[in-house]
């Protein structure tokens, strides 16, 4: 594959899409705020087969591997097939992101008053669930075993100490810089508002998922929340009662990046991978590149 050469109009984290239809380019002007364009979707995924496979992997040495790792691996595999999912809108323009950046909130421990921070993990479209397991656990362990704050917390603490009018002024400057692509890479790297997707595992809190808003600041186009797994007894076609396991998932998606039909393909891909969890254990045979 010929290496892409950066062109005028591209950003550090992505390239400007020039060949998409004019109507798609028009949408960010009609609905400039990300929450104006957000669509909400709920799905209950059956995980009977997946839960069995995750137990096998834990027994084989992948301690703690679970739904979170699988959900991220599923998203990554979907991006390899449907690269438009990894687009973002900023400055009323649509870009294809250079890599896959997953953001999530992490508590240093599960006590009520424990501080919460965010982490960002970089992935490639060829990554498997085992790559996700390694990269994610390395980042989480780094946060939980360190007494130091990370860059996100340091920046937030520094800005929060300013008088209110200066905070508003600083945020306005950041918004303007982001609009024109002038934010330094060091800031977008620590920003929890810039990335491919943000995910929250509410199952770890033993509650169901919520529709979480996507942020108008930054570039995040997808927010995925999933809850605790649960049992459901169902009658099969032979009249026998079977025990099935499910997990409820809720997604908030930015329709400024792709249309509803494209997102429908995303959800069909998610269903297929949940039915065939072994898919994410090997790299994809092919990675599809987004349009120019």
Does the pLDDT at position 2 exceed 60? no
Cβ–Cβ under 8 Å, residues 158 and 166: no
Residue 244 phi/psi, 5-degree rounding, is: -120, 150
pLDDT in tens, 216-271: 999 999 999 999 999 998 888 888 989 999 999 999 999 999 999 999 999 999 99
Does the pLDDT at position 62 exceed 60? yes
**Which of 36-45, 87-96, 107-116, 256-265 has the lowest average pLDDT?**
107-116
pLDDT in tens, 271-281: 999 999 999 99
Cβ–Cβ under 8 Å, residues 86 and 79: yes
Q: Which pLDDT score, from 0 to 100, does residue 235 have?
A: 87
Q: Which pLDDT score, from 0 to 100, does residue 122 have?
A: 97
| Predicted structure pTM score | 0.92
Cβ–Cβ under 8 Å, residues 191 and 171: no
32-146+192-236+246-281, which class in CATH? alpha beta
Q: Which pLDDT score, from 0 to 100, does residue 147 have?
A: 63
Q: Which pLDDT score, from 0 to 100, does residue 109 have?
A: 64
Model confidence band, residue 10 (pLDDT cutoffs 50, 70, 90): very high
Q: Which pLDDT score, from 0 to 100, does residue 6 have?
A: 82
Model confidence band, residue 65 (pLDDT cutoffs 50, 70, 90): very high
């Amino acid at each position: 594959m010929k290496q892409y050469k950066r062109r005028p109009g591209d950003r550090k984290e992505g390239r400007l899409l020039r060949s998409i239809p004019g109507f798609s380019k028009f949408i960010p002007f009609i609905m400039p705020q990300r929450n104006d364009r957000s669509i909400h979707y709920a799905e209950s995924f059956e995980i009977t087969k997946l839960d069995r496979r995750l137990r096998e992997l834990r027994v084989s040495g992948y301690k703690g591997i679970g739904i979170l790792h699988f959900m991220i691996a599923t998203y990554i595999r979907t991006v390899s097939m449907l690269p438009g999912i990894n687009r973002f809108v900023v400055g009323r323009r649509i870009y294809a992101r250079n890599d896959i950046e997953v953001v999530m909130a992490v508590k240093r421990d599960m006590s009520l008053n424990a501080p919460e921070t965010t982490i960002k993990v970089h992935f490639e479209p060829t990554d498997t669930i085992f790559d996700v397991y390694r990269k994610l656990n390395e980042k989480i362990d780094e946060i939980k075993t360190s007494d130091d704050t990370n860059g996100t917390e340091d920046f937030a603490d520094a800005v929060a100490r300013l008088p209110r009018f200066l905070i508003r002024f600083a945020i306005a400057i950041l918004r303007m810089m982001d609009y024109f692509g002038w934010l330094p890479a060091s800031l977008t790297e620590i920003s929890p508002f810039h990335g491919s997707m943000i995910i929250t595992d509410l199952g770890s809190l033993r509650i169901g998922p919520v529709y979480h808003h996507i942020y108008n600041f930054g570039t995040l186009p997808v927010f995925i929340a999933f809850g605790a797994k649960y049992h459901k007894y169902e009658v099969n076609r032979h009249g026998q009662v079977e025990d099935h396991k499910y997990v409820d998932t809720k997604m908030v998606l930015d329709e400024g990046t792709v249309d509803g039909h494209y997102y429908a393909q995303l959800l069909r891909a998610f269903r297929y991978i949940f039915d065939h969890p072994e898919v994410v254990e090997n790299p994809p045979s092919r990675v599809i590149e987004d349009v120019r």
